[in-house]
Amino acid sequence: MRELPRGTVTFLFTDIEGSTRLLRERGDAYADLLEEHRRALRAAFAANGGIEVDTQGDAFFVAFERAKDALAAAAEGQRALASGPIRVRMGVFTGEPIRTEDGYAGMDVHRAARMAAAGHGGQVLVSESSVRLVADELPGDYALLDLGEHRLKDLSAPQRIFQLAGKGLSRDFPPLRTLENRSTNLPAQPSPLVGRQSELAELIQLLRRPEVRVLTVTGPGGAGKTRLVLQTAADLVEDFPDGAFFVPLVGATEPALVLPTIARTIGVHEAGGLSSAEAAAEYLRDRELLLVLDNFEHVLEAAPLVGDLVSEAPGVKAICSSRAALRLSGEHEYAVPELVSEDAVALFAERAKAINHEFRLNGDMQVVAEICRRLDGLPLAIELAAARTKVLSPQALLDRLDRRLPLLTGGARDLPDRQRTLRDTISWSYDLLDETEQSAFASLAVFAGGFALEAAERVAGADLDTLTSLVEKSLVRQRDDRFRMLETIREYGLERLVERGDLDDVARRHAEFFLEVADSGSDAPNEWEPWLEQVDSEHDNLRAAIAWARDRGEARLELRMAAALGPFWEARGFLTEGLVRVREALASDPEAPAGLKAQALKFGALLAYKQGDSAVARDLAERLAAVADDCEDEQILADALNSMGIVLTGEGRFEEARQALERSVVINEQLGNDISRQSNLHNLGLISLNESEYGRAVDELTAALELSRRSRQERHVSNDQLDRAFALIGLRRWAEARAEAEEGTRIAQRLQWRENVAYGLVALVAVAIAEDEPERAARTLGQADRLTDELHLDLTGYAEQARVEAREALRSRLPDDLLGSLLAEGRACSLDEAVADALHE
Ligand SMILES: Nc1ncnc2c1ncn2[C@@H]1O[C@H](COP(=O)(O)OP(=O)(O)OP(=O)(O)O)[C@@H](O)[C@H]1O
Ligand SMILES: [Mg+2]
């Protein structure tokens, strides 16, 4: 056999589409077909200078010195198979793999296979790296079609993919089988996965077994659990029509937050008296969906809840990463093994190259293999060691490791040993830092869920240079403007922080910094949305800060935090969590000044009302009224009356509610508080709508809208407009209703406020029917149905009534099967498409 090429190599990967089906259909004849396909492809490879690296079942893996030969071989192979029943997908990828004794190693090896996996039988997909090489040499009758950027299932950043077209090749194929055609939030990985092919195959097989409902990948910190579960999930997305969702649990500071965190990730919000846990359970019941629960060891007490969730939802499975098993029935545990030697070396080389472009393995293969063996094949330890090659040669590194790490007893390595290896490796990296870096590193461990530069500077005294140095040493990760630590490293850092005696100071600075973030919320136009987004991204830090204040008895700080976050919890629908925090904080700080208490009570009452807990809502509103009485503050009184108005509305006591709201209007008017007055008027409008007093509703909502516009509160503008549209529908003033519904929907769509988009679509359905456009109305209704299902949204009375009436009207206008297919069509399209359709765009 000829020597395998070195340096820049182009791989061609081929794979038969639907081989199991073919085997089933053709039985014994399949063996002959397979053989014939092998002969044809081998001839094409040989004719173009390809060398077979590996053949597995019905897949070929072939290396070419030149990219253009790989393309020629692919084209020839496809032409030879064109007339037969076997259809083969092919991938061509150029890279710089590491040459080993009997083949290749390194990150590029599997990428041709990944590329092929995105395609269809008869299709040849080509990487951008290959296209660059052949740009000018492509034979005249071939072309490379640019299929655009795609996320492959290797979780790499999106990459440009091309399709080979030309003589004898089909041109039209279904959409690529890539991640953007799936519903999933699996995060892209900064570097390609190395090795792990057999582990992946095993995990995939396990998770496909019907009795395996929870699969837990266990191992010490840094063993590669997260990487493995992410890749398994990516490979299985097609098995789960409703998607695969990554739920990091490190931010869930207590077991009670696990289900709400899952709920949010899959897009389920609390509403209508259902807690997010119940809503998630109900949503999942008839879905086929994979949950990826990362770092479960933090919240092991919540394991039974996940057990219940999964047992009530037969189509749902969970794959978890955890340092310890969950101990659930139906759980299958899989201990992550060490990286095999070859892959460990490849990981080392890849990381070393990322830090030091000059790095080449050359003659150091044995030395690096020995380093990796000393590090127990632990990926994180290997990364940390590789980061040192900027200053040390592999041999020098090994010598130092010899001195540093206790010699292991060889043979089977159990977990405690591997744990020690990692700790020793981390502390080795730590000891090599200078004092400034050590102090910064330890202090940065206080952050939960990552941090931005400003926070690092203010809380941990870490400037950009120090951060950059920590990133280079693999102790801190950076992605765009955000930094974070891997969990194991963070734990180590926290220990150092305690040891240095700095924990209290740093944690206090952390809490104070995030109180500032929470406090910077503002009603001012153009400030509200950015604040919400910032709070979103700092949510885990804010949770950690409030927990610190609570645990340390810092009652005032806790209450200020809760009061400041009230609007966030309300706007983003963290009803249960927010209400718990507000009530705890109020209990911690009975002596708080009236204004602070009032702010907490006001949002507490609102959260409780929205959550459907009317007793608690009433209690908090009454306490707010008592505060107002005590301090004789007019604004607090106005707020208390507004809260009471909401509570009374929820209790169906409309007349009393009106009285309270009208009193509040008068006070707010005197105080010149437009924002609060808008809220009063809107709440009055809702009462009128509920009582079907549409004329009155229009007046109240028009007044509210004027104030929202004046204070440029986009959210309120959208709200007022949509409710006003329902009132106008009640009055059959269709043209005005359409204008109002359209604009309200547009704003909601821009703010990505899907609840309000749902309301807007329902209003537009009613209008479209009146405008004699039943088909459009049916499509829009389909989308509205889907949205309310997805959000688990119970529409309020008047909107639900409008939807029921619309459905009846459509039934009498359209034949059943047409209506059914239009509804399905609406359900199936994307939200953007549906909104554009409803808006005649
Ligand atoms: N097969 C692999 N190829 C490339 N990188 C890997 C591989 N396995 C692990 N890594 C890298 O090693 C580091 C540690 O891996 P990972 O975060 O998956 O460990 P973990 O077991 O989840 O640790 P923890 O218990 O701290 O959560 C990460 O930077 C990860 O990207
Ligand atoms: Mg992990």
DSSP sequence for 182-245: S-B-PPP-SS---S-HHHHHHHHHHHHSTT--EEEEE-STTSSHHHHHHHHHHHTGGG-TT-EE
* Host H or E run for residue 704: helix 694-710
The ligand 1 atom at the shortest distance from the C-alpha of residue 192 is 4
Q: How far is the centre of ligand 1, averaged over its atoms, from the C-alpha of 192 (Å)?
A: 11
Closest ligand 1 atom to Cα of 190: 31
Query: How far apart are the CA of 729 and the centre of ligand 1, in A?
Result: 57
Nearest CA to ligand 1 atom 15: 224
Looking at ligand 1, which atom is closest to the CA of residue 491?
26
CA of 213 to the centre of ligand 1 (A): 24
Please name which ligand lies nearest the alpha carbon of 246: 2
CA distances to 84, 266, 452, 600, 611 from 561, rounded to whole Å, are: 69, 27, 20, 9, 21
Q: Which ligand is nearest to the CA of 221?
A: 1
Q: Which pLDDT score, from 0 to 100, does residue 192 have?
A: 84
Residue 356 Cα to ligand 1 middle (Å): 21
Of all protein residues, the one whose alpha carbon is nearest to atom 11 of ligand 1 is 379
CA of 189, closest atom in ligand 1: 31
Q: What is the distance between the alpha carbons of residues 347 and 378, in angstroms, rounded to a whole number?
A: 10
User: What number does the ligand 1 atom closest to the CA of 383 have?
Assistant: 12
Residues 605 and 660: their CA atoms lie apart, in Å, by 15
The size of the chain, in residues, is 841
* pLDDT at position 432: 80
Q: Show the ligand 1 pocket: residues with CB < 6 angstroms.
A: 193-196, 219, 221-227, 295, 321, 323, 347, 379-380, 383, 486-488
Ligand nearest to the CA of 386: 1
Q: Which of 293, 486, 488, 490 to mutate to test the pocket of ligand 1 (most atoms within 8 A of CB)?
A: 486
What's the CA-to-centroid distance between 21 and ligand 2, angstroms?
Answer: 37
CA 224 to ligand 2 center in whole angstroms: 7
Atom of ligand 1 at shortest range from CA of 221:
25
Q: What are phi and psi of 220, to 5 degrees?
A: -70, 170
Outline where 91-154 has alpha helix (H): 111-117, 128-134
Residues of the chain with pLDDT under 70: 1-2, 106-107, 181, 270-274, 404-420, 523, 525
Written as six digits, the tokens of 64 are: 């070419």
Q: Which atom of ligand 1 is nearest to the CA of 223?
A: 21
Q: Helix, strand, coil proportions of the chain in percent (round to 5)?
A: 60, 10, 30
Q: At what angle do helices 464-472 and 435-444 cross, to 10 degrees?
A: 80
Dihedral through CA 624, CA 626, CA 627, CA 629, nearest 10? 130
- Ligand 2 centre to CA of 250 (Å) is 9
Tell me the pTM. 0.74
The conformation of residue 713, written as its DSSP 8-state character, comes to -
Using the atom order of ligand 1, give the atom closest to the CA of residue 230. 18
- Where does 461-502 have alpha helices with state H? 464-472, 487-499
**CB-hemisphere CA count at 13 Å for 330?**
20
Distances (CA, A) of 392 to 388, 398, 399: 6, 9, 10
CA of residue 156 to ligand 1 center, whole Å: 15
What pLDDT, on the 0 to 100 scale, is given for residue 1? 55
Neighbours of ion ligand 2 (CB under 5 A): 226
| Six token digits for residue 196 | 């792990």
Taking the CA of residue 336 as reference, the ligand 1 atom at the shortest distance is 21
Residue with CA closest to ligand 1 atom 1: 194
Dist. CA 783 → ligand 1 center (Å)? 40
Cα of 428 vs centre of ligand 1, distance in Å, is 19
Nearest to residue 561, comparing CAs of 572, 574, 548? 548
User: Which ligand number lies closest to the CA of residue 346?
Assistant: 1
- Ligand 1 centre to CA of 413 (Å) is 19
Q: Whose CA is nearest to atom 28 of ligand 1?
A: 380
